[in-house]
Amino acid sequence: MDDSGLLGPGEYVFFLGGEHMENGVAGARRLDHFGKVYAVKPLAPDLVLLTAVGIVVLLTPVVVFIAAATRFGGEHRDRRLAALRLIGADRGMTARIAAGEALVSSLIGVVVGAALFAVGRRCVELVDVQGLSVFPRDLTPQPFLAAVVVVAVPCLSLISAHLAMNKVVAEPLEVVRRSVRTKRRLWWRVALPLFGLLLLRTSVRDASQVQSTAGVVSVVAGVLGLLVGVTAVVPWLLERFTERAGGAGPLSWQLAMRRLRSHSEASTRSVNGIVVAVAGAIALQTLFTGIAHSHTGNHPSTTQGRSAPDTQVGLVRLAGADGEKPYASLLARTPGVTRAVGFSELQVSEVPYGIPQTVRIADCAVLRLLASVPTCSDGDAFLVAPRNGSTDDMTEWETGTRMRMGMSGLAWRVPRITATVRARPGAPQGAFPETMLLATPGAAGATAIAQATHAVSLAYQTSREDVRDRIRTAAARLNPRSQVDFPGDRRDDTALSSISRALLAGVAVVLLLIATSMLIGAVEQLRDQKRVMAMLVVVGTRRRTLSGSVLWQTALPVAIGMLVAGLVGTVLGGTLLHLIGRAAVFDWISMLAMTGIGAGAVLLVTVLTLPTLRRVTRVEAIRHE
C-alpha cells in the first residue's frame, strides 16, 4: 500500500478482495481513492480540555527554559561589561551590548533549532511511541505559528536580558556593583496563582463552553497563571527557608546555605523548568485519570494491585449476516463466553456523512436483557441514557425527525419514544458515552431492519488470558467481515488514546530539555565558584564536602519546588475536572512517580557535574589575571 492509504508508517493494513458486495448494503462502501473526508464527530469537551491543557503544560516549561538560558553565564557577562566600561563604554552602551548578545544568541538558537527540526523530521518515521508514528509530511509547521516562534524567542530573550541588567551595575576595573537586595514580597506571588484559579472557576460554568474559543482562552490563561505562579512562589519559599535554616549542620550544608542566600535566583532559575513541568504533569495526569475513569469506569487506584473485574462485555458486529440468533448461539460456545444476546444495529444521521447515531432493534425479550424496560410491546422505542451522565453525548433524538440510514441514504423517521431507561449492568450500552435508541421491530420498520447489521453482545470471563483472541477468531470464522469491539477497554477509545500518546511523546521531549537546562545551570554555577572552591580545597576542605554542597544546592530548591508543584498540580487537576463535571480521581502512584523523577533528575545532574567539580577544584584554578 502507498503511504497515502496509511495513518502512519507503523500501521499495518491489507485489503482482501471479496465477491457479492453491493455499495451501501450491509455496511459495504465503495472506495475509489484515498483522502475522502467524512464528517467526524467534534471532540468532546473533556478531550478538548485535555488537548489544550496538554499544549500549555508542554510549552510553559520551554518558555521558562528560554528565559533561564538567557541568564546562563551571567557573571562572566558582567565581567566583560565591566571591561568595556574600562575602555570608555557608558552604561547605555553596555546595556545595548548585553541586549545584542542575547539577540544574536537567540537568533543562532532559532537557526540551529530549525536545522535540528529539519533533520529530525526526516528521521521521524523511525520513532514509535506506544503505537504512535507519523510521516514527515505530518510534521509540517503552519507558517503563521512558525513565524510566531521565530519572533517570540528573540523577544523573550531580550526581555529576560533587560530584567537581568536592571539588577546589576557594571563599573570599570572589573567591579560589578549589585543593586541593593530587597526582601521578596509574597502578595503578588500568591495573587498570580490565585488569579488563575479564580479565572478557571468563574469563566467556564458549563462543560460545553470548553469547546468555544473564549472557553479555551480562559482555560489557557488560568492554567498559565497557576503554572507561572509556581516560579514566583518557589524563590520566596527558598529565601525564607535559608533565612531560618541557621548555621547548624555539617560543613557541606553550611556552604550550600551560604550560596543559596547569596545567589538564590541562580539556584531557583535552573530548577524552575522542572518544577513547572512536574506541576503541569501532575495536573495533566489527574485530568487524564479522571477522563479515562469516566470513559472506562475503572479507577486506577482500585485496579492496581488486584485482579480486573471477573466479567466484561464485548460487541460483535456481523455485516451481511442472515439472522442473528444462530450467530449468538454459536458465539456463546466460545470458551470463556458466559452470555450472548443477538440484535440488529443501524447507524442513522441527519445529514449525509453526518455524525452517526445508533439504533438497536430487537424484540421485547431481548430489550429487557439490554435495558431496564418497565413495560414493552411491539411498536415501542426506548432511549438508553449514556453512562455516568456523560458530557460526550452529541446525539439528538426527537420523535418524527427525518434521518438517513447508513451508507444507503434511505430515509427513516425516529419513532415515538416510549420512555428513557438505563442500561443493565454488563450490557454494551453501559460502556458507551452516547444515548442510543432501542426499538422493537414494529417501531423500526421493515426497511430499517433490512438495512441493519446484525450484532451480538457478549459477556466473557477475564480469567482466560486468550478469551479476546478466541472471540475474534470465532467471529472471523462465522463472518470474515465481522467487527469485534471491547468497549470497556481504554485502548478502544481512539481519540483519548491518540491524545495520550501524543502528550507522552511531548512530555519525553520536555523532560529531556529540562534535564539539559538543570545540567547547564549546575555547570555554570560551578564555573562561577571555581576560584572559591579551589581555595577551599587548598585550605583543607575535602572534595567530598564540596560534592555534598553541590548536591544540597540543587536538591533544596527542587525539594521545595516539588512540594509546591504537587500542591498546585493537584488543585489544578481537580479544578479542571470540575469544569467538565467529572469526579476528582487521583492516581497517587503516578504522582509519586513524577516526584521521584524530579528527585532522580537532581541525583543525575549531581553525578554529571562531578567531573566539572574535580576540574574547578584543582590548585591551578586559583590563577587569575
For residue 413, give the H/E element and its range. strand 410-413
In which region does residue 335 sit, left (phi positive, over 0), alpha (psi from -120 to 50) or beta (all else)? beta
User: pLDDT tier at 411 (50, 70, 90 boundaries)?
Assistant: confident
CA dihedral 291→294→296→297, nearest 10 degrees, is 130
Name the burial class of residue 392, with classes exposed (0-12), middle (13-18) and buried (19+) by CB atoms within 10 angstroms of its CB.
buried
Q: Is the pLDDT of residue 336 over 80?
A: yes
Rounded mean pLDDT of 341-352? 83
User: pLDDT tier at 392 (50, 70, 90 boundaries)?
Assistant: low
Distance CA 284, CA 127 (A): 24
What are the CA-CA distances from residue 448 to residues 28, 326, 383 (Å)? 16, 21, 17
CA of residue 123 relative to chain centroid, distance: 23
Say how many CA atoms lie within 13 Å of 466 toward its Cβ: 5
Residue 179's pLDDT is what?
A: 47
What are the CA-CA distances from residue 499 to residues 47, 464, 496, 530, 545 (Å)? 8, 30, 5, 46, 47
Residue 318's pLDDT is what?
A: 77
Angle, alpha carbons 85-89-91 (nearest 5°)? 80
Residue 300's pLDDT is what?
A: 42
Q: Is the pLDDT of residue 115 over 90?
A: yes
Q: Is the pLDDT of residue 295 over 70?
A: no
Strand pairing category for 453-461 and 436-439: unpaired
pLDDT in tens, 50-93: 888 888 888 888 888 788 777 776 667 777 777 787 788 887 88
Q: Is the pLDDT of residue 587 over 50?
A: yes
Distance CA 362, CA 384 (A): 14
Low-confidence winner among 255-269, 312-326, 353-367 (lowest mean pLDDT): 312-326
Residue 374's pLDDT is what?
A: 85
CA-nearest of 256, 215, 223 to 61 is: 223
Q: Is the pLDDT of residue 532 over 80?
A: no
Percent share of the chain, pLDDT over 70: 80
Distance CA 75, CA 524 (A): 9
Q: Is the pLDDT of residue 241 over 60?
A: yes
User: pLDDT tier at 304 (50, 70, 90 boundaries)?
Assistant: very low
CA-nearest of 532, 531, 554 to 607 is: 554
Q: Which residues of 471-485 are buried (b: 16+ CB within 10 A; e: fewer)?
A: bbebbeebbebbebb
Residue 148's pLDDT is what?
A: 92
Rounded mean pLDDT of 241-261? 81
Rounded mean pLDDT of 147-162? 88
Rounded mean pLDDT of 358-364? 89
Residue 388's pLDDT is what?
A: 55
CB atoms within 10 A of CB 407: 18
Distance CA 583, CA 574 (A): 8
Q: Are 367 and 416 in contact (CB under 8 A)?
A: no
Q: Is the pLDDT of residue 554 over 60?
A: yes
The partner residues of 175 in beta bridges, in order of sequence, read 171
The partner residues of 419 in beta bridges, in order of sequence, read 382
Q: Which amino acid is at 381?
A: A
CA of residue 511 relative to chain centroid, distance: 13
Rounded mean pLDDT of 515-520? 74
Range among 111-125, 259-273, 324-338 rated most confident: 111-125
Residue 276's pLDDT is what?
A: 86
CB atoms within 10 A of CB 145: 9
CA-nearest of 224, 95, 101, 112 to 157 is: 101
Residue 618's pLDDT is what?
A: 74
115 CB contacts (<8 Å, ≥6 apart)?
none
621 CB contacts (<8 Å, ≥6 apart)?
530, 531, 533, 534, 615
Rounded mean pLDDT of 505-522? 73
Residue spans of the domains in the chain: they are: 186-298+493-622, 311-487
Q: Is the pLDDT of residue 362 over 80?
A: yes
Rounded mean pLDDT of 290-296? 69
CA-nearest of 432, 116, 117 to 295 is: 432
Residue 614's pLDDT is what?
A: 78
Q: Is the pLDDT of residue 299 over 50?
A: no
User: pLDDT tier at 382 (50, 70, 90 boundaries)?
Assistant: very high
Q: Are 399 and 361 in contact (CB under 8 A)?
A: no
Q: Which residue did the predictor score with more confidence, 520 or 237? A: 237
Alpha helices in 70-129 (DSSP H): 74-86, 91-123
User: pLDDT tier at 381 (50, 70, 90 boundaries)?
Assistant: very high
Rounded mean pLDDT of 460-488? 82
pLDDT mean across residues, the chain: 78
Q: Are 358 and 383 in contact (CB under 8 A)?
A: no
Distance CA 215, CA 222 (A): 11
Residue 28's pLDDT is what?
A: 63
Rounded mean pLDDT of 519-540? 76
Q: Which amino acid is at 305?
A: G
The residue with cell 527554559 is 65
Q: Is the pLDDT of residue 413 over 50?
A: yes
Rounded mean pLDDT of 209-233? 86
Residue 621's pLDDT is what?
A: 60
Low-confidence winner among 22-31, 72-81, 348-357, 381-390 (lowest mean pLDDT): 22-31
Q: Is the pLDDT of residue 203 over 50?
A: yes
Helix, strand, coil shares, percent, the chain, to 5 = 60, 10, 30
Residue 289's pLDDT is what?
A: 80
Helix, strand or coil, per DSSP, at residue 295: helix
Residue 490's pLDDT is what?
A: 45
Distance CA 41, CA 57 (A): 26
Residue 308's pLDDT is what?
A: 42
Rounded mean pLDDT of 153-168? 81
pTM: 0.69
